[in-house]
Structure formats: structure tokens, C-alpha cells
Amino acid sequence: MNKEVEIISWFASQSRLSPGDYPIGIGDDMAQIQLADGTSVLITTDMLLEGTHFDLAQATIEQVGYKAMAVNLSDCAAMATLPIGAVCSVGLPRRFGTDELRQLHKGVTGAADRYNCPLIGGDITRWSADAPALAMSISMLSRPVNCRPLRRSGAKPGDVICVTGALGGSSKGRHLTFVPRIAEALAITQLAHVDAMIDISDGLSTDLNHICRLSGVGARVEAKLVPVSPDASKTPDPLSAALNDGEDFELLFTLAPTEWETLRKGWRLTTPLTYVGVMTGDRSVVLVSADGSEAELVPAGYDHLSQ
């Protein structure tokens, strides 16, 4: 188990939430609070750190603002929920003045306008020391549509495993400009009953293992079916890039084969949906290579807490 999974599992084990008031707690893409009969709200939070999540030598400040919103919007998509508002807190390096703050704001509000999720509040602070770098945290609210929020834990043996788009090589630039799959999530859940969903932030290998662990099932992924992005194709090991790079922010979901047929036939969006394997009844997560050999699909994506 990676370090991040370990500590988050521990946090979740410390949590005592009443399921009536908090249908979804720690450990999914968003938490859910029931406010009244039939009315609930979901919340997620993501922090971006200069050096870890972006490099200001390669990204513009506006792109950083966009990415901070987009990673949260991707969480809303992962639950098949509709974003309704965001708050943003920033820790500014001393070198940042009003101009840099406005560029950051432009990136945030650009995403807010594009995905109809307004910036409704925030907190602006500044490091007192010279050394520290830009830290940015956005929290986002959403509400359910079409169906109950989709969880990581609902996958069933026999389910088809699908992904949107193509995977790998996001660090070449796509991690700053990706389109969060909100429209896709809503279209998918309008057409079919989905059992489990997650967005691929840490890499297919890691995120599929999350679904398996939380659903108590296994998976078999066919290597030859994994959609490899053009960016990943240019790397020495395209399949490994597609499986492990992370920050794809594509959707990974599972559904019954009959639902997959309905979805496939009804699909009208240009974003591809790709069948990559099936969920199984045992606990093993297996990669079937093109030559038919099998190996454990090790969660080799990004571990935020590894040293």
C-alpha cells in the first residue's frame, strides 16, 4: 500500500460520521453533506504547490489558476455531480504583486466561466519569509444530478472497465490545460447506470487499485486496449506512461456489460470511451500483456507522501 493510501485510510478510520448526515466521508473524490430531505451538497479540496504541481518556468501564472480550478472540477466530474461554486485560498511568495495576483485570478475565473462554477470567496495571504513558493488551495461545491454521486466503492465483478480520452504524458503540458470531464460524466450517467467512478489523477494503475480496494473486487486490464495519448507515444515506454504517469484527469468507471452496450450505442460526444478490461471476483489487479502473459498491475502512479 502506498504511503498516501495508508495515511488517508488511517484518517478515514478515525472518522465517525453519521451516514444520514454525511452519506460520503473521507476517502472518495468528494464528501457529501445531506442538508434536507432531497437536498445535499458535495465538497472537495485540492492544493497545488509550486515545484510539486507546477513549475513557473514552464507554466504561466494564469495556467496555474486554471489548473487549480480544473483539478477540483475533475473531482466533481468523478462523482458525476454538477459544480456550483468555488473558494480559493492562496499563499503568495513575496515576489508576487497585484499583477501576478490578477493573472492568477484570470486563470481561476476563466475556468469558472467556462465550467459555470463561479468563484464565490477566498483568502489571500503572503509568506513572511523570502524562500517559500506559491501555494494555492481551491475547495469546490457541487450537487448531484441524474443519479446519486458515483463512488469509488461500487464496482462489481463482471463490470466492464472504461476510460475517457487517452492516457499518459500529461507532464508535457496537458496537465495545465486539460478539460475536466464534467460534460462526459453527465452524459455517461444520463445514458447508463454506472457502478463506480474516479478521475485518473495518480495514474490508471493507482486509481484502478483504489476502486478495487474500496469495492472489494479485482480487475483484469488488457494492455493492448489501453488508450495511449500522443504525448505518451513519444516516450520510451508508452504503455507504462499511460498506466502510471497520472494527471490525466480522465474518467475511469465501471458498469455492467449491458449498460456498457447502451452507453456505447448512445454516445454522441467526441471524447472517446474505451473498454480496457473487466472487474473480477477475486482481489487481484492484473495486467494482461499483448502476448497473453499476466502480471500484477502494481499501483505505480504518483505517491504524494513517498519520501
What type of residue is 13?
A: S
Cα gap 273→263, rounded to integer Å: 9
* Nearest-approach distance from CB 241 to its own copies, in angstroms: 20
3-state secondary structure of 45: strand
Nearer to its own copies, 60 or 89 (CB): 89
Q: Could you give the C-alpha distances from 183 to 70, 83, 266, 278, in angstroms and in order?
A: 13, 11, 15, 24
Q: How far apart are CA 226 and CA 152, in angstroms?
A: 20
- Smallest separation (angstroms) from its own copies to the CB of 254: 23
- What residues contact residue 264 under an 8 Å CB cut-off, 6+ apart? 273
- Which of 165, 180 has the CB closer to its own copies? 180
Which is nearer to its own copies, 120 or 183 (by Cβ)? Answer: 120
Q: Whole-number minimum distance, CB 300 to its own copies, in Å? A: 18
Helical pair 182-191 and 61-78, crossing angle rounded to 10 deg: 10
Name the residue nearer to its own copies (CB basis): 142 or 229: 142
Is the CB of 44 or the CB of 229 nearer to its own copies?
Answer: 44
| Identity of the amino acid at 187 | A
Find where cell 454516445 sits.
Answer: 267
Q: Work out how close the CB of 68 gets to its own copies at its nearest, in angstroms, rounded to a whole number.
A: 11
Closer residue to its own copies, CB minimum distance, 67 or 220? 67
Q: Which is nearer to its own copies, 88 or 243 (CB)?
A: 88
Residue 275 parent element (H or E): strand 273-280
Q: Quote the least distance from Cβ 285 to its own copies, whole Å.
A: 23
> What residue has cell string 464565490?
120
Which residues, at least 6 apart from 235, have a Cβ–Cβ distance to it below 8 Å? 168, 169, 241
Q: Which is nearer to its own copies, 119 or 279 (CB)?
A: 119
Cβ 239 to its own copies shortest distance, Å: 26
Query: Min. distance of Cβ 280 from its own copies in angstroms?
Result: 30
Residues 15 and 26 sit within 8 Å (Cβ to Cβ): yes
What is the Cα Rg of the chain in Å? 19
Cell numbers 478515514 correspond to 12
Walk across the sheet containing 273-280 and list its strands.
Answer: 196-199, 251-255, 160-164, 273-280, 218-222, 285-288, 294-296
Write down the least CB distance from residue 208 to its own copies, Å.
20
